[in-house]
Amino acid sequence: MMKINKINEMSSPDLEKEMGELKTELFKLRFSLATNGLDNPMKIKEVKKDIARIKTVLRQRELQENK
* Greater model confidence, 37 or 62: 62
d(CA 27, CA 2): 18
pLDDT for the residue numbered 56: 95
The whole-number pLDDT of residue 20 equals 96
pLDDT at 67: 80
Using only C-alpha atoms, the chain has a radius of gyration, in whole angstroms, of 14
- The per-residue pLDDT for 38 is 81
**DSSP per-residue string spanning 3-64:** -HHHHHHS-HHHHHHHHHHHHHHHHHHHHHHHHT--S-THHHHHHHHHHHHHHHHHHHHHHH
Distance, CA of 34 to CA of 46 (rounded, Å):
18
1-49: pLDDT as tens digits: 778 889 899 999 999 999 999 999 999 999 999 998 888 889 999 999 9
